[in-house]
Chain A
Amino acid sequence: MKLKLIIVALLGLGLSFSAHAHRFWILPAATVLSGEDPWVTFDAAVSNDVFFFNHFPLRPDNITATAPDGSNVELQNPHVGKHRSVFDLQLTQEGTYRIGGASEGLVATWTNEDGERRRWPGRGETANPEDFDTAVPKKADDLKVVYGTRRNETYVTAGAPTETVFTPSNSGLELQPISHPNDLYNGETARFRFLFEGEPAAGTKVTVVPDGIRYRDAQDDFSVEADADGIIAIDWPGAGRYWLEAEYGDDQATPPATMRQGSYVLTLEVLPQ
């Protein structure tokens, strides 16, 4: 298993699944497109202020675009700036494209004999799985080994929406459309199902943040929780763009991990009727 702790290397945050991790997102300029082979431009950034660029770029090298037929599409005109990266995509096929990145890896934390907190890999370091056996003690106080997965996605559609890109990979936390992410309208309840490692992710906790944080005094975020089938229902406060983060965790991990966690980030557009 080749581990690519992209976000870790990028942020120096480690795979912390705390609520205090930075928000990151891929923001399409449009999600619903018509015409012949339309172009869409994207911004990708790490920033807690949805959707303002003021912190860090999210590198295009770690972002893949998947066409309706399942093939990879090259990102055009990539540019990495100080606060954001930018790339374009030409939608030469009719249907729905997924644009996103994923990472996974083990993180261990424990308290050593001198009472000091330890973690592997160290903050900002990339884990080498071969080192696990030597770097992490077999027994230690508060020993936690977490298998963590992350996804960061958005979707755009040329013509009629399709569902081929939602075929689950059964790795990490994934979204299954009940409502299609590119067919969301204010005044209609949106429903999505979450899968973790291919199984319905009951109890997944989802936070939704509306666009435009700078122009209001509160985050105005709201939370929903998935039912036993992993399904969430969202009633939008209005048309606009939304940042959505879903988090799932349980203790059904494969050793040496004792816990497994999934984080899933999605940028959505909700249109007026």
Chain B
Amino acid sequence: MKSPHAPLPKLLYPLLLAALVALPSAASADTLLSVELPRLNVAEYHRPYLAAWVMEQQTGEVTNLAVWYQLDEEGKEWLKDLRQWWRRSGRKLDMPVDAFTGATKPPGVYDIELDGQLAGLPDGQYTLHVEASREVGGRELLKIDFAWPAAEPLNLSAEGEEELGTVTLSLAP
């Protein structure tokens, strides 16, 4: 099923990570996504809407990993503010989708298990997108390019500046 891949270009080597919460059972090298929602010193804080998805770079095929929003009818009104996700996937969906939707979350670091969600993907070059949008706040989109399947265990990270903290994609072969 999984074919060997050429080594990744240097620019995809993981950045030096800020201190991350230790991952449980790191030895088993799961494929997972770690997303940090930063604690913000703002007068009016609302939990952000968040969407995480991977897109195949050639076909544009989207696989949703997580969408966190206010899980009621009223909450759907603001899904469009996850601007890129809405365009690439959300507007074609009948929300909620049990497989990946969840409630908004307070500041913290969250691990999303991806083994099941990435397992069936065709071999190829992908881009992970993590997009966050906060009421009375800003919006930020982080992207991480990766090859699937991974030839070796890899941790790829991106650092948000406003609405997102550290986002790490851990890939297990």
Q: Which residues of A contact B (CB under 8 A)?
A: 32-36, 38, 159-161, 183, 185, 271-273
Contacts and interface: CB of A to CB of B under 8 A. Distances in A.
A68 B147 CA distance: 40
Interface band, chain B: 10 to 19
Interface of B: 73-74, 76-80, 83-84, 86-87, 90-92
A36 B73 CA distance: 7
A10 to B, nearest CB: 34
A160 B88 CA distance: 10
Q: Is the interface of B mostly helix, strand, loop or mixed?
A: helix
A34 B78 contact: yes
A260 B79 CA distance: 45
Given A33-B80, A35-B73, A161-B91, 17 more contacts: A32-B86, A32-B91, A33-B77, A34-B76, A34-B80, A34-B86, A35-B76, A35-B80, A36-B73, A36-B76, A159-B91, A160-B92, A183-B87, A185-B87, A271-B83, A272-B83, A273-B84
Contacts of A161: 91
Contact of A160 (B78, B79, B91): B91
- 7 closest pairs, A vs B, by CB? A35-B77, A35-B76, A34-B80, A34-B79, A160-B91, A160-B92, A36-B73
Contacts of A38: 77
Contacts of B80: 32-35
A265 B50 CA distance: 37
Nearest to B79: A34
A35 B76 CA distance: 4
B77 A34 contact: yes
